[in-house]
Structure 1
Amino acid sequence: MLTSALAFAGVAALINITPGLDTLLVLRTSVSQGRSAGLASALGILAGCVVWGVATAVGLTALLTASRFAYDALRIAGAAYLVWLGASALWRSGKVAAGGSAGVERVVVEEGARGRWAAFRAGVGTNLLNPKAGVFYMSLIPQFTPHGESVFTMTLLLTAIDIVELAVWYWVVSGAASALADRLRRPAFRRRMEQVSGIAFFGFAVNLLADRGKAA
Structure 2
Amino acid sequence: MMVAGNVAEQRSMLSFLAFIGTSIIVIVTPGPDTATTIRSTLLAGRTGGICTAAGIAVGQTVWALATSVGLAALLVASAPLFLIIKYLGAAYLIYLGMLALYEALWPPEQSLGIAVGHHPHGRLSPWIAFRQGLVSDLGNPKMAVFFTSLLPQFAPTGGSTFSSLLALGIVFAGMTFLWLAFYAAAVHKVRGALQRPTVRRLIEGATGMVLIALGLRIATEQR
Q: TM-score if structure 2 supplies the norm length?
A: 0.89
Pair 1:109-2:123 in alignment? no
C-alpha offsets along residues 16-54 of structure 1, whole Å, 9 cap, x if unaligned?
011111011111211221111111111110110110000
Q: CA RMSD in A?
A: 2.0
Could you tell me which residue of structure 1 aligns to residue 92 of structure 2? 81
Secondary structure of the corresponding residue to residue 19 of structure 1: coil
Residues 95 and 107, structure 1, Cα contact 8 Å, conserved in 2: no
- Which amino acid counterpart does residue 14 of structure 2 have in structure 1? T
Counterpart of 1:177, as a letter, is V
Query: Counterpart in 2 of 1:8?
Result: 19
| Conserved? CA contact 1:17–1:169, under 8 Å | yes
Distance 1:102 1:176, change over 3 A: farther
Whole-angstrom CA distance in 2 between matches of 1:88 and 1:23:
17
Distance in 2 separating the partners of 1:107 and 1:54: 40
The alpha-carbon distance between structure 1 residues 164 and 94, as it changes in their structure 2 partners (threshold 3 A), is same
Q: Which residue of 2 aligns with 1:175?
A: 185
Cα distance in 1 between the residues matched to 2:120 and 2:218: 32
Aligned residue in 2 for 1:132 = 142
C-alpha change, 1:10 and 1:77, in structure 2 (3 Å) is same
Specify whether residues 108 and 32 from structure 1 end up closer, same or farther in structure 2 by C-alpha distance, changes over 3 A only: farther
2:94–2:215 CA contact under 8 A, matched in 1: yes
Asked if 1:200 corresponds to 2:216, the answer is: no
**Corresponding residue for residue 196 of structure 2:** 186
SS of aligned partner of 1:149:
coil
Which 4+ stretches in 1 moved above 3 angstroms? 100-104
* Deviation by residue 1:78-114 (Cα, 9 ceiling, x = unmatched): 11111111110000001239928947627853133x4
2:174 corresponds to: 164
Aligned length: 212
Amino acid at match of 1:24: A
- For 1:5 and 1:108, the matched residues in 2 are separated by 47
Structure 2 spans left out of the alignment, 5+ residues? 1-11
Cα contact 1:21–1:204 (8 A) shared by 2: yes
The gaps in structure 1 that reach 5 residues or longer are none
Cα distance in 1 for partners of 2:117, 2:192 equals 15
CA 1:31–1:92: 2 relative to 1, 3 Å: same
In the alignment, structure 1 residue 121 sits paired with structure 2 residue 131: yes
**C-alpha contact (below 8 Å) 2:97/2:207 kept by paired residues:** yes
Q: Is this contact kept in 1: 2:108–2:121, CA < 8 A?
A: no
CA gap of 1:146–1:201, structure 2 versus 1, over 3 A, is same
